[in-house]
């Protein structure tokens, strides 16, 4: 059977532009033009080619097309995880925006692991992405050198630092948490607890903690170690953390800042389970404004970010790059404090 040493059995071969050309009685150049620059082909010939293509079920082979035109019509997004709605929303909107421009999106989840992120970026570059969006900027240097070596436009999302070397589409995580903390300070709170996601390899969470500390520091206040809990962003971790904080020795905090709404909902539920009245005895804040945040009793004071808008704008800027433009640096996006029932003025005599 050595006669069969062909790359692909003949009966398995898909039709090529040459087949279509033959069927339509034209050259492959005309086939190409029919689909890429139809106005350059006479109508009757165009019709003949389209007909032949349809009959043969032909669509241009992506590899050949990419090789000849050096366009892949592919972009890539690297996010920590789809389990968190905020990234899911971002990717969904980005995918939609790219799709309207004829660009298909690769998805890579790093699971908050820099190494996995690097592997995804490498794989995407190797597959010829024309643009790349990355959540955050806490990546190994090689991520950025590899991207730059390929001259692929990229943007960093969900975060914004004025002095970042990268194009950013996001908000200042530090300022957002500074504002939340200020809100509580303005209500008279002086003793704070903090329940937050893992800071490891996560520039956004690190910035959030800095925002809280800065706001407190401006008032000469600080966080006690036993009132700070760092762990998985789950309702369960919110519960156990709240319990631990409220049962620790010494004066209790009157306000708990949480890194996201899940942690805050957990804290709220646990406070209620402990018989601590919210907001009378304890104020609690979240972040993200998930659907449940408005449904708890009391409603959760939180901060709303337009994650879909982040995805859309990131795609928009990257598409501009592909069009040869240089998008202007973006100012940080707005964050909106949503005041609900879970925060109130500090209990009488506790404003110390």
Pairing outcome for strands 302-304 and 336-338:
antiparallel
Is residue 336 at the binding interface for DNA, with CB under 7 A as the rule?
Answer: no
Question: Of 3, 5, 8, 37, which lies in the binding site for a second copy, with binding defined by CB under 8 A?
Answer: 8
Residue 9's binding partner among a second copy, DNA, none (Cβ under 5 to 8 angstroms by kind) is none
Residue pair 235/262 in contact (Cβ under 8 Å)? The answer is: yes
Residue 203, both tokens? 């520039």
Is 133 one of the binding residues for a second copy (CB under 8 A)?
Answer: no
Among 25, 198, 232, 339, binds DNA (CB under 7 A): 25
User: For residues 93 and 91, what is the distance between their CA atoms, to the nearest angstrom?
Assistant: 5
Q: 285: helix, coil or strand?
A: strand
Asked if 61 is part of the footprint of DNA (rule: CB under 7 A), the reply reads yes
Query: Of these, 31, 52, 124, 318, which contacts DNA (CB under 7 A)?
Result: 31
The entry of DNA, a second copy, none that residue 36 binds, CB within 5 to 8 Å by partner kind = DNA
The yes or no reply on residue 104 touching a second copy (CB under 8 A) is: yes
Alpha-carbon distance of 76 to 129, in angstroms, equals 6
Q: Which two tokens stand for residue 77?
A: 């997004």
Which residue bears the tokens 């404003």? Answer: 351
Asked if 305 is part of the footprint of a second copy (rule: CB under 8 A), the reply reads no
Task: Choose, by CB under 7 A, the member of 26, 228, 284, 318 that binds DNA.
Answer: 26
144 makes contact with a second copy (CB under 8 A):
no
**Partner in contact with 1, chosen from a second copy, DNA, none, beta carbon below 5 to 8 Å by kind:** none
Q: Which does 42 bind (CB under 5 to 8 A by kind): DNA, a second copy, none?
A: DNA
Tokens 């002095």, located at residue: 163
Which residue matches tokens 């620059």? Answer: 37
Q: Residue 109 binds which one of a second copy, DNA, none, with CB within 5 to 8 A depending on kind?
A: a second copy
Q: Could you say which of 51, 55, 69, 113 contacts DNA (CB under 7 A)?
A: 69
Give the pairing of strands 228-230 and 168-169: unpaired
Do the Cβ atoms of 170 and 193 come closer than 8 Å?
Answer: no
d(CA 334, CA 321): 24
- Taking residue 245's Cβ as centre, other Cβ atoms within 10 Å add up to 23
Q: Is the bond leading into 279 cis (omega within 30 degrees of zero)?
A: yes
- Find, among 236, 246, 238, the residue nearest to 276 by Cα: 246
Contacts with a second copy, 157-196, as mask; x by CB under 8 A? ----------------------------------------
Per CB under 8 A, 29 contacts a second copy: no
Chain positions contacting a second copy, by CB under 8 A: 7-8, 12, 14, 57, 59-67, 70, 72-74, 81-83, 85, 88-89, 91-92, 95-96, 99, 102, 104-109, 111, 116, 119-120, 122-128, 146, 149-151, 234-235, 262, 265-266, 269, 291-292, 295
């Amino acid at each position: 059977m050595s006669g069969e040493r062909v790359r692909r059995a003949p009966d398995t071969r898909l039709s090529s532009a040459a087949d279509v050309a033959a069927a339509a009685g034209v050259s492959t150049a005309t086939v190409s033009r029919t689909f890429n620059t139809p106005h350059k082909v006479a109508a009757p010939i165009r019709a003949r080619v389209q007909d032949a293509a349809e009959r043969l079920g032909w669509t241009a082979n992506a590899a050949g097309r990419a090789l000849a035109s050096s366009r892949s019509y592919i972009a890539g997004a690297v996010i920590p995880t789809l389990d968190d709605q905020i990234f899911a929303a971002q990717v969904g909107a980005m995918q939609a925006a790219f799709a309207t421009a004829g660009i298909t999106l690769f998805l890579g989840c790093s699971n908050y692991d820099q190494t996995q992120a690097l592997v995804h970026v490498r794989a995407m570059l190797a597959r010829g992405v024309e643009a790349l969006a990355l959540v955050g900027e806490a990546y190994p240097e090689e991520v950025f050198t590899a991207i730059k070596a390929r001259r692929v436009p990229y943007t960093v999302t969900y975060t914004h630092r004025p002095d970042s070397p990268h194009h950013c589409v996001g908000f200042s995580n530090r300022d957002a948490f500074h504002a939340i903390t200020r809100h509580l300070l303005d209500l008279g709170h002086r003793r704070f607890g903090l329940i937050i996601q893992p800071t490891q390899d996560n520039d956004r969470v690190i910035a959030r903690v800095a925002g809280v500390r800065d706001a407190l520091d401006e008032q000469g206040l600080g966080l006690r170690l036993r009132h700070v809990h760092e762990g998985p962003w789950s309702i369960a971790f919110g519960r156990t953390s709240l319990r631990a904080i409220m049962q620790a020795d010494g004066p209790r905090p009157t306000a708990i800042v949480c890194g996201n709404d899940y942690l805050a909902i957990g804290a709220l539920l646990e406070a209620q389970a402990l018989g601590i009245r919210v907001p009378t005895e304890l104020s609690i804040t979240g972040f993200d404004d998930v659907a449940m945040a408005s449904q708890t009793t009391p409603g959760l004071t939180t901060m709303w970010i337009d994650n879909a808008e982040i995805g859309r704008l990131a795609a928009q800027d990257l598409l501009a790059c592909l069009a040869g433009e240089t998008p202007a640096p973006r100012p940080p996006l707005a964050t909106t404090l949503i005041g609900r029932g879970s925060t109130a003025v500090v209990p009488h005599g506790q404003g110390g």
